[in-house]
Amino acid sequence: MSAFTAIVRRDLVLAMRYRAEVANPLLFFLIVVALVPLGLGPRREVLELIAPGVFWIGALLASLLSLERMFRTDFDDGSLELMLISPKPLPLIVLGKILAHWLVTGLPLLAAAPLIALLLGLPAKSLTVLLATLVLGTPALSAVGAIGVALTVGLRRGGVLLSLLVLPLYIPVLVFATSAVSAAADGLPILGHLYVIGALAALSISLSPLAAAAALRISVG
């Protein structure tokens, strides 16, 4: 666990040194969400209908925007090779980088959720469900994205390929998260949706460190 905590602390310190790059995903998310009312007009019933989808699409794209930094900087400065030959378990190191990515990207989205919900006219009864889907779903975005980044880290322009690899895997989380918020707004049961999102998060967090570690050995080796 010392390697795990060291990796998390290291990535957070590096993130604080490059605050502009850390702020980019959140700013991009806010811009995407803010443009929707401007484009569709201020009609409350329309905004309430599309708010869950807009929110989660923005969160998905913001997460995707910051994914490449998870391993790219380590690859460029050679520290990734040191991680590969380290006696510490590589999946544990990858799990630490996933957690650091979520703390830098997913946690700010959680903090901004009430403001965005107000901007989109999301009903108050749906805000709690929205926060629950973010808590369960955003770690899955970071975990699944780690596999795509690990596969493309050795490519100089792997951003497009990364998007093609990761976006289809994000669809289940997107579908069930938006369905849960919409069901809450309509007064329908939501536990089934949350259970599925939680299962997807648990599965991705459990398996992605192993898959990403294997992908790193292939890409770098």
Instruction: Give CA–CA dist 148/32, Å, rounded.
Output: 24
pLDDT tens per residue across span 44-96: 777 777 878 888 888 888 888 888 888 888 888 888 888 888 888 889 999 99
Instruction: Give CA–CA dist 214/96, Å, rounded.
Output: 16
Report the C-alpha dihedral over residues 48, 49, 52, 54, rounded to 10 degrees.
-100
Residue 123: which residues within 8 A CB-CB, separation 6 or more? 48, 185
Instruction: Give CA–CA dist 138/21, Å, rounded.
Output: 19
Say what the pLDDT of residue 208 is.
93
- In total, how many domains does the chain have? 1
pTM assigned to the model: 0.88
- Name the residue type at position 78: G
Range(s) of the domain holding residue 106: 2-220
pLDDT exceeding 90 applies to what percent of the chain? Answer: 25
Contact 102, 138 (CB under 8 A): yes
pLDDT tens per residue across span 106-151: 888 888 888 887 777 777 778 888 889 999 999 999 999 999 888 8
